[in-house]
Amino acid sequence: RKEVEQDPGPFNVPEGATVAFNCTYSNSASQSFFWYRQDCRKEPKLLMSVYSSGNEDGRFTAQLNRASQYISLLIRDSKLSDSATYLCVVNGQAGTALIFGKGTTLSVSS
């Protein structure tokens, strides 16, 4: 079983749509959780951290369910510029390596 699993997509949505990505992780000892965004042939960039209480950053909302080891990302009012691959990432102890999911590809069209 892979450590971090995501639906690879692709998700093809029109501008303005709401889209949700899901992710599960296998290591119950994981302590930190993130969503990264990766554009084609570029390095990943931190989109947001994910907390058990849920957190929101503009059009983006992330949720964490530790009991079911499940992480989600909701994007509202999709923009063309949101087209990218979204990586679900977990971390054990602070200072150790990040573990990446395979990524979910989003394509927003006009």
Binding mask 26-65 for other proteins (x = CB under 8 A): ---------------xxxxxx--x----------------
CA-to-CA distance for 66 and 49, rounded, in angstroms?
A: 14
Q: Does 22 bind other proteins (CB under 8 A)?
A: no
List the structure tokens of 17. 């749509």
Instruction: Tell me the residue length of the chain.
Output: 110
User: 85 in helix, strand or coil?
Assistant: strand
Q: Does 66 bind other proteins (CB under 8 A)?
A: no
Q: Find tokens 């554009």 and name the residue.
A: 39
Do 110 and 13 touch, CB atoms closer than 8 A?
no
Q: Does 24 bind other proteins (CB under 8 A)?
A: no
Work out how close the CB of 59 gets to other proteins at its nearest, in angstroms, rounded to a whole number.
21
Residue ranges in contact with other proteins by CB under 8 A: 4, 8, 41-46, 49, 87, 95-103
